[in-house]
Amino acid sequence: MNKVMLIAGKELRSYLTSPMAYIITCIFLLISGVFFVLYLTATKYADTSIQGFIEPLSVFGLSNIGNVFLPLFASILTMRLLSEEKKIGTWELLLTSPVKDTEVILGKFLGSLGILVCMLVLTMYFPLMLAIFGQPDMGPIWTSYLGLFLIGSSALAVGTFTSSITTNQIIAAVVSGGILFALWFVGMVSNVLPTAIANVFSYISLSSHFSNFSVGIIDTKDIIYYLSVTALFLYAAIRSLETSRWN
């Protein structure tokens, strides 16, 4: 576990010393801020409770526009995670140190998760402002944060996996973006399909599991879904790392 934290710490440090994480956080805060204001003005400041908060935050996952951003941010955050190490060769030093493959992948993933948490924490001035100027229902706000954290970690796990299969950062980003879009798309497609298939499609869709969180419901089904997606892709990343020893 120590080694996982060591690698995560190193990863976090390297995010913080390069401009990429700052740029992404800036754009993220800018977009969510714009949505926050737009929604509040559109409702003439009447609704400072639930929707007033969720809608702006949903940039990260809920609304149709938001759907575009989660894959984008996650893909850009994770694209260099493993591919760069492979490219510059430090990979060889990591894999010849007495560290388990699992520890390497978990460390890398947790490093990127750290940035995601920072981004979410930085948005907390929205609920703070709502709390100062109104009486928001804080329950759904916290569950929304939980949902965003879970959906974000799924997306980062997908990105960690795609970064482990290539030495090219762009390919890693495009492939993970593709996988995440596909996972969204199945949710939309489910509207036009026969019920039986639609249920399946809507179950495997990343977005459909978010709606409960946004209205304040914590359903273990949704939590398990996001955790399974995260675990599945991290497992795939570990296996891909093992495979690299055979080639």
Q: Which residue ranges make up the site for another protein (CB under 8 A)?
A: 3, 6-7, 10, 14, 17-18, 88-100, 245-247
Specify the residue, 50 or 110, whose C-beta has the smaller distance to another protein: 110
Q: At what angle do helices 101-122 and 2-17 cross, to 10 degrees?
A: 50
Give the Cα separation of 115 and 94 in Å (integer): 22
CB 14 to another protein: min, Å: 6
Joined together, the tokens standing for residue 220 give 């273990």
Specify the residue, 87 or 131, whose C-beta has the smaller distance to another protein: 87
CB 98 to another protein: min, Å: 4
Q: How far is residue 128 from each of residues 52, 53, 157, 190, 203, measured CA to CA in Å? A: 12, 10, 30, 37, 34
CB 80 to another protein: min, Å: 11
CB 238 to another protein: min, Å: 14
Specify the residue, 1 or 192, whose C-beta has the smaller distance to another protein: 1
Q: How far is residue 238 from each of residues 100, 204, 213, 232, measured CA to CA in Å? A: 10, 22, 30, 10
CB 114 to another protein: min, Å: 16
Give the count of alpha carbons within 13 A of 46, CB side only: 3
Contacts (Cβ under 8 Å, ≥6 apart) of 215: 50, 140
| Token pair 């740029």 in the structure block, residue | 23
